[in-house]
């Protein structure tokens, strides 16, 4: 399947992949006050008329509003953290367990209530970081998996600020089960930032064409020096998410 198989989807995929605003604009518009307001459930108060107009007029205008619903997710609600407590590792976590040396440092994007992070902890990984915007999910994580929580370095933050604060090539392997990075608006170069921070591997389960913002993920990773070492795309067939294991060239 190509990234541009139908023209409407093709245009938005191309635009989301290639017509991004500059990072300096994102940093100038989205400040710590915006991140902190969103994390504390006060994003609405930051959405001024001027901001809404700029976002409506310029599709690439910086925004983080998509994460607000997740930041406010409650137990028993639509995005309840217990929905992500699984009996088995997701495909990215299983791939990490199967092929990554235990000496590697790991970072999980969207760790939610800690299920995958607990599996990699039990598998013997000792240097693990995680991040999620949902405060309730992290409370659940701490309650359900206290040992994995204590062994890891967990941040309550947005991918955007968290990644910007990480030094280049500071983590061996980044992994994430979707739909997570697909939810990041293209005004933030999420793939570029992941490639800047990851030293060896990026392992993702992605729904590139259906969930969140469509992007040409494979092309974007390739452009940043990462090639596909393994993918389930052919075996999965179209219309579902695929596992991708990218390695740094
Ligand atoms: C569909 S859930 C996937 C959770 C987990 N990866 C799993 O598969 O069990 C999406 C996750 O992304 C998190 N999330 C969404 N946008 C985010 C952002 N901008 N920064 C950090 N976390 C975000 C949500 O809180 C949620 O945990």
User: Where would I find the H helices in the chain?
Assistant: 7-18, 23-29, 32-39, 43-46, 49-57, 68-71, 91-99, 115-122, 135-144, 146-151, 159-164, 190-197, 217-223, 233-236
Name the token pair of 142.
């701490």
Question: Ligand 1 in contact with 90 (CB < 6 A)?
Answer: yes
| Binding site membership of 220 for ligand 1 (Cβ less than 6 Å) | no
pLDDT at 1 over 60: no
Q: What integer pLDDT is reported at residue 4 of this predicted model?
A: 41
Q: Is 176 helix (H, G, I), strand (E, B) or coil?
A: strand
- Cβ(132) – ligand 1 distance below 6 Å: yes
Atom 18 of ligand 1, nearest CA residue = 158
Supply the pLDDT for residue 112: 98
| Whether the CB of 187 sits within 6 Å of ligand 1 | no
Question: What is the number of structural domains in the chain?
Answer: 1
Supply 82's token pair: 């217990």
Residue 112, ligand 1, Cβ within 6 A: yes
Of all protein residues, whose CA lies closest to atom 1 belonging to ligand 1? Answer: 179
Q: Which of 187, 188, 181, 216 is nearest to 9 (CA)?
A: 216
172-221 pLDDT, tens digit per residue, is 999 999 899 999 999 999 999 999 999 999 999 998 677 789 899 999 99
Q: Mean pLDDT across the stretch 59-73?
A: 94
Q: What integer pLDDT is reported at residue 8 of this predicted model?
A: 61
> What residue has token string 């998996």?
145
The secondary structure element, H or E, covering residue 48 is: none
Does residue 133 line the site of ligand 1, with CB under 6 A?
yes
Distance 5 CA to ligand 1 centre (A): 28
Classify 72 as helix, strand or coil. Answer: coil
Give pTM, 2 decimals: 0.95
- Residue 42, classed as helix, strand or coil, is coil
Domain residues for the domain of 124 are 1-249
What's the CATH number where 121 sits? 3.40.50.150
């Amino acid at each position: 399947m190509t990234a541009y198989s139908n023209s409407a989807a093709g245009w938005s995929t191309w635009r989301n992949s290639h017509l991004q605003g500059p990072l300096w604009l994102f940093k100038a518009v989205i400040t710590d006050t915006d991140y902190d307001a969103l994390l504390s459930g006060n994003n609405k108060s930051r959405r001024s008329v001027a901001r809404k107009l700029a976002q409506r007029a310029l599709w690439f205008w910086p925004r983080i509003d998509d994460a607000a619903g997740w930041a406010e997710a409650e137990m028993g609600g639509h995005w309840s953290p217990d929905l992500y407590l699984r009996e088995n590792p997701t495909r990215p976590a299983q791939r990490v367990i199967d092929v990554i040396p235990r000496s590697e440092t790991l970072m999980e994007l969207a760790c939610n209530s800690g299920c995958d992070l607990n599996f990699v902890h039990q598998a013997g990984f000792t240097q693990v970081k995680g991040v999620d915007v949902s405060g309730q999910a992290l409370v659940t994580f701490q309650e359900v998996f206290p040992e994995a929580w204590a062994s890891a370095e967990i941040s309550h933050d947005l991918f955007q600020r968290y990644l910007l604060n990480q030094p280049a090539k500071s983590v061996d392997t980044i992994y994430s089960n979707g739909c997570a990075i697909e939810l990041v608006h293209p005004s933030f170069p999420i793939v570029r930032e992941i490639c800047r921070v990851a030293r060896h591997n990026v392992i993702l389960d992605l729904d590139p064409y259906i969930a969140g913002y469509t992007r040409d993920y494979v092309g974007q990773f390739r452009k940043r020096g990462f090639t596909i070492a393994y993918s389930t795309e052919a075996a999965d067939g179209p219309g579902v998410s695929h596992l991708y294991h990218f390695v740094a060239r």
